Structures are given as C-alpha cells and as structure tokens.
Amino acid sequence: MILAVGNTKGGVGKTTLAVNLAVARALAGRDLLLVDGDEQGTALTFTQLRAERLGEAGYTAVALTGAALRSQVRQLAAKYGDIIIDVGGRDTGSLRAALTVADTLLVPVQPRSFDVWALDQVAALVAEAREINEGLRAVAILNGADPQGGDNEAALQMIGDIEGIEVLSTSIVRRKAFPNAAAEGRAVVEQSPRDAKAIDELTALISAVFV
C-alpha cells in the first residue's frame, strides 16, 4: 500500500504521524519504504537519529521531490510491502506528485478553524488528482486533538461537510509521548514508559488506514 501523509497547511503533525506509522508497520514485519517528500527533511532527520540511537532504522528511507517522487515511487512500489510518503505543508509539486501515485492520502488536521479551512484546498487537489488516480482515498484525522472540550466535535462537524474527504472516527490526542519518543528516534509503540492511550490511538489509526 502507498500512503501519503500531507496537508497544504504546515504544523499539523504530519511527519510525527508518518514516522510513527512507518516504525509500527516495520515492527509488524512489513518491508517498508519511507519517502521524505518535504523540503524540510524532518522524516529523514528522524530516521538518521533513529539509526544512530538504535543501530538501525528498521526500514528504508529516501528523499524524493517533484517529478522524481512520482517516477521513483512507481518503480519501487513492487519492492516494498508498504510505502509511506511524508509530504506537504503547502501546495507543492511533491504533494501533487504523491497524490497521483498514492492509494490513500491521510490528512492530519488540528481542531482549529485555520486548519479546517485549509482542507478546502486539499479537497480541490484531491479532486484534481482523481482525474489521473481514480481510486485515491482521502481521509482526515483529528491530530493534536484536545483531551476534552467541544472544539474536537466542532472541527469534526466542519470536516464532515467537505466533499471528497472521509473523516476517521479515531483521533490522536495531543500527548507528550509523541515528541518525547521522537527525541529518542523512537515511535510511541517503543517508548518506555509506555503511554497506553497513545499506542491505542496509533493502533486504531493503522487499522483505519491500512485496510
């Protein structure tokens, strides 16, 4: 499966989700390729830190952008069980290229008005990509959700009104476990002490996306 994790808005936690998904799938025995399609290169930096701390990353990681992302992912698809592409932060050639080769686009959205409003642009890009990639599935997940309060439900209602993007029932709550694990080159499923709620949320996301 080819999964793109992206958004036209930065700061939504897409790289955190991408690397956690990559590690979890690799630990589950999948032969995984992580593609860093973001010019900031955060996913690749995480992978390098992980290899230094743990001896090996456990998956393959490459940096690809623009047209090269499209062509290389197509060539590499048969060699890997899963490919996760970390891309976006704005409307780029890399994001558009990823949408033409992905099976699913995962769009992290924080429960804030500006984040939800940006989904209209994502929906337009998805509609355009489906002219080439008819089977593209687009799903939004509330990421960095509030532990409690009404903002989450309000955001979910607004997202649900956007045509062409499915809203996942599971959410990722804002927890210290994610940045703490990343600082050590780990995913939350490897972190000690374990945050059971963070692990449960990530596991639910995996079940919803990798179907």
Taking alpha carbons only, the member of 101, 39, 97 closest to residue 76 is 101
211 residues of the chain, pLDDT tens digit each: 999 999 888 888 899 999 999 999 999 999 999 999 998 899 999 999 999 999 999 999 999 999 999 999 999 999 999 999 999 777 888 999 999 999 999 999 888 777 777 888 999 999 999 999 999 999 999 988 877 767 888 888 888 888 899 999 888 999 999 999 999 999 999 998 899 999 999 999 999 999 7
Do 148 and 119 touch, CB atoms closer than 8 A? no
Q: DSSP letter string over 61-73?
A: EEE--HHHHHHHH
Rounded distance between C-alpha atoms, residue 137 and residue 134, angstroms: 9
Residue-level length of the chain: 211
Q: Taken in order 199, 105, 14, 50, is the CA torsion positive or negative?
A: positive
Structure tokens at 200: 């449960």
pLDDT value of residue 182: 94
pLDDT value of residue 91: 83
Is residue 174 helix, strand or coil? coil
pLDDT value of residue 104: 97
pLDDT value of residue 190: 94
Do 2 and 85 touch, CB atoms closer than 8 A? yes
Rounded distance between C-alpha atoms, residue 93 and residue 74, angstroms: 16
Do 99 and 4 touch, CB atoms closer than 8 A? yes
Rounded distance between C-alpha atoms, residue 76 and residue 82, angstroms: 10
Do 27 and 126 touch, CB atoms closer than 8 A? no
